[in-house]
Amino acid sequence: MKSAENKPLLEVKNLKKYFQVGKNQILKAVDDVSLDIYKGETLGLVGESGCGKSTFGRTVIQLYEPTDGRIVYDGREINGSLPSAERHGFTRKMQMIFQDPYACLNPRMKVIDIVAEGIDAHGILSGEERTKKVLELLETVGLSEEHANRFPHEFSGGQRQRVGIARALAVNPEFVICDEPISALDVSIQAQVINLLKELQEKRGLTYLFIAHDLSMVKHISDRIGVMYLGAMVELADSESLFEAPLHPYTQALLSAIPIPDPDVEKSRSRIMLEGSLPNPVNLKEGCRFASRCPYAEQLCKEKTPEMKEVRPGHFAACHKAM
Amino acid sequence: MDELFVKAYVDESEKEHIARPNLTALQDGWLRLKKNKAAVVCLFTLIAIGLLAILAPEFSRYSYKETNYDIIYQIPSMEHFFGTDQFGRDLWVRTWMGTRISLLIAFVAALLDLTLGVTYGAVSALAGGKVDAVMQRIIEVLVGIPHLIIVILLMMVMPAGIWTIVVALSITGWVNMARLVRGSILKLKNQEFVLAARVLGTSTAGIIWKHLIPNTVGVIVINAMFTIPSAIFTEAFLSFIGIGMQEPKASLGVLINNGYQVLRNFPHVLIFPAIVIVLIMVCFSILGDGLRDALDPRMRK
């Protein structure tokens, strides 16, 4: 789906988001992450809990003020001093689907008002037309008219997540950040939601940033995949290339952890077991973040932070030893 | 075995069907309040007390300050429903006049809670940082000063009476509400549905009115319902110890004070105002509890 001559829809350059967690203690949740997302593609972002992938998504969509770096959307820089009217207009282009289907819908609002929130905020439609549009959106996500006047708690997890998707679609966005949209759902419902997202992408030409930690699901939906570790991007490649020949030792360990749905193969599967645990992300020192757990770490890794480099065409990795 | 089980027919469109009937929030709330018998009884008791307080003095032949020394300390009769006091004043009229004062205090306390308390708490929670810190220190200072001292100090600059009590209430009465609202908004403001609203471009005012306040209604209602009896009690207490309402004005506290002095000989002077004040306070508490449950769409069975 991605083509080289295509101009990126979203360019993120050296994005940093630091949180002050105490006196002289800085949590570098996102540290110097750069990536491009092209129109119509799905970029998967994986990493273990607390690696900063959600923070990255929220910073891109302006829920957090970035500490440093640039976010360029469609040739226009969107962070920093964007006039408030333009910022408001921008919310129609980029939307987000949230992780927790139980927390992402206001329990006091009816589904019709939840879905219409974006329509109301931008004053797009009113009265009859608004209702019509909401019903149309509900139908798109596989719900019906009878659900419009219900409260969220009457729905199942999968249904709620679809309401969340309908809400994001109400403003006709071009770019949707899916922040672990399936991790809180039952496996049987996950496929339903994933297929819905794929179908919507085809019909509406959406671009996704798909944040998740379920690797097989990410492989299924993504064109390209970025791997994050402790706030930094360690590898970025086409999903096939990444799964076939991962370059970064962390990615290798991560991929070896995917269970194989065949008991015979699963029995003989070899896993790369990482030593130690995730280091404290507060006040990180210079050097490769993965060095403390990396089986191949050398003196150089502990002294110098590796840069992202293009090891193979379109396959980037941040590792001194990758070649 | 096979013939025992037949594959059930499942209509695809029925899969997503929700069985319970569709109701608006208000209908639903009322339905659930109705199930709580105690709360309904309290609601109607309060309505009855309110109507009596408004109407009884208007339709009586007697006035609350009209004295008649020929009929002092009469026991309840058809002429004087609640009897008369030491000046021969009709206690029926005086009790309901006193109830008016109590209900006025209740109204003022609730109004202050809902306006000043809710706004202060919401602003403090949303502004965060230094603003929040300063606003919370102000509240801590206000909490630190005992209520009684504020009233006594106010007496030095203002005449004793209902307005002094109202002013005293406005200084500290809303503090609890502000703290509770701040707490629940702090909890809510980083919830995903609020983030979703921000992502969708909803204005700050929209977020407050559509997302934050409706989700704190339970806290607000229950706290207002508990502030009301405590405000009523404060007024009655101040009047009872003689620094609230002054004779010949009637308030439940003044009436109870009068009755308590002659309790052994004429208990009816004490009993009626005491019953009314107990009813008001208990009813507000039980109704508050019922309302909190009824207004929360998640609490239903």
B246 domain-assigned: yes
pLDDT, position B1:
56
Distance from CA of A302 to the nearest CA of B (A): 37
The enclosing H or E element of B244 equals none
Please give the average per-residue pLDDT across B262-291, as a whole number.
90
Task: Kindly list the residues from chain A whose CB atom is less than 8 angstroms away from the CB atom of residue B217.
Answer: 108
Q: In whole numbers, what is the pLDDT of chain A averaged over residues? A: 87
Residues facing residue A234 across a β-bridge = none
pLDDT, position B183:
92
Q: Does domain A8-93+173-242+313-317 have CATH number 1.10.8.60?
A: no
Asked if the model's pLDDT at residue A3 lies above 60, the reply is no
Q: For an interface test with B, which of A102, A105, A106, A162 has the most B Cβ atoms less than 10 Å from its Cβ?
A: A106
Q: Which residues contact A1 (CB under 8 A, 6 or more apart)?
A: A40, A41, A42, A223
Taking a C-beta distance cutoff of 8 angstroms, is the pair B234, B106 a contact?
no
Are residues B191 and A103, on separate chains, in Cβ contact within 8 Å? yes
Are residues B203 and A91, on separate chains, in Cβ contact within 8 Å? no
Nearest CA in chain A to B203: A121
Q: In whole numbers, what is the pLDDT of chain B averaged over residues? A: 85
Please give the average per-residue pLDDT across A276-284, as a whole number.
77
* Minimum-distance CB partner of B202 among A107, A121, A146: A121
pLDDT, position A191:
86
Backbone angles phi, psi at A283, to 5 degrees: 50, 60
- Report domain extents, chain A: 8-93+173-242+313-317
Least confident among A2-6, B112-116, B169-173: A2-6
Asked if the model's pLDDT at residue A2 lies above 50, the reply is no
Are residues B199 and A61, on separate chains, in Cβ contact within 8 Å? yes
Distance from CA of B33 to the nearest CA of A (A): 17
Q: Per-residue pLDDT tens for A11-64?
A: 999 999 998 888 888 888 898 899 999 998 999 999 888 888 999 999 998 888
Helix, strand, or coil (residue A31): strand
Asked if the model's pLDDT at residue A142 lies above 90, the reply is no
Asked if the model's pLDDT at residue A259 lies above 90, the reply is no
pLDDT, position A96:
92
Q: For an interface test with A, which of B20, B24, B192 has the most A Cβ atoms less than 10 Å from its Cβ?
A: B192
Residues facing residue A80 across a β-bridge = none
pLDDT, position B22:
66
Please give the average per-residue pLDDT across B176-191, as a whole number.
91
Pairing of strands A68-73, A76-77: antiparallel
ipTM score assigned to the predicted complex: 0.86
Are residues A117 and B196, on separate chains, in Cβ contact within 8 Å? yes
Q: Per-residue pLDDT tens for B112-168?
A: 888 899 999 998 998 888 999 999 999 999 888 887 788 888 878 888 778 888 888
Residues facing residue A94 across a β-bridge = A175
* Minimum-distance CB partner of B201 among A118, A143, A154: A118
| Dihedral sign (CA A174, A179, A184, A189) | positive
Q: For an interface test with B, which of A58, A92, A93, A117 has the most B Cβ atoms less than 10 Å from its Cβ?
A: A117
Q: Per-residue pLDDT tens for A193-243?
A: 899 999 999 999 999 999 988 888 888 899 999 999 988 999 999 999 999
Distance from CA of B116 to the nearest CA of A (A): 23
pLDDT, position B300:
54
pLDDT, position B45:
94
DSSP state of B90: B
Question: Does B214 lie at the interface with A, CB-CB under 8 angstroms?
Answer: yes
Asked if the model's pLDDT at residue A4 lies above 50, the reply is no
Q: Distance between CA A295 and CA A285 in Å, rounded?
A: 19
Please give the average per-residue pLDDT across A248-268, as a whole number.
86
* Minimum-distance CB partner of A108 among B16, B196, B215: B215
Are residues B196 and A98, on separate chains, in Cβ contact within 8 Å? yes
Please give the average per-residue pLDDT across B213-233, as a whole number.
85
Q: Which residues contact A37 (CB under 8 A, 6 or more apart)?
A: A8, A9, A10, A43, A175, A207, A209
Task: Kindly list the residues from chain A whose CB atom is less than 8 angstroms away from the CB atom of residue B18.
Answer: 146-147, 150, 154-155
pTM of the entire structure?
0.79
Are residues B199 and A91, on separate chains, in Cβ contact within 8 Å? yes
Range of the domain at B276: 38-59+87-297
Nearest CA in chain A to B214: A108
Nearest CA in chain B to A179: B192
Q: Which residues contact A281 (CB under 8 A, 6 or more apart)?
A: A27, A28, A29, A50, A230, A231
Nearest CA in chain B to A98: B192
Q: Distance between CA A141 and CA A160 in Å, rounded?
A: 10
Taking a C-beta distance cutoff of 8 angstroms, is the pair A105, A164 a contact?
yes
Are residues B196 and A96, on separate chains, in Cβ contact within 8 Å? yes
Taking a C-beta distance cutoff of 8 angstroms, is the pair A166, A143 a contact?
yes
B21-30, B204-213, B235-244, range with greatest mean pLDDT: B204-213
Nearest CA in chain B to A142: B16
Domain count, chain B: 1
CATH of the domain at B117: 1.10.3720.10
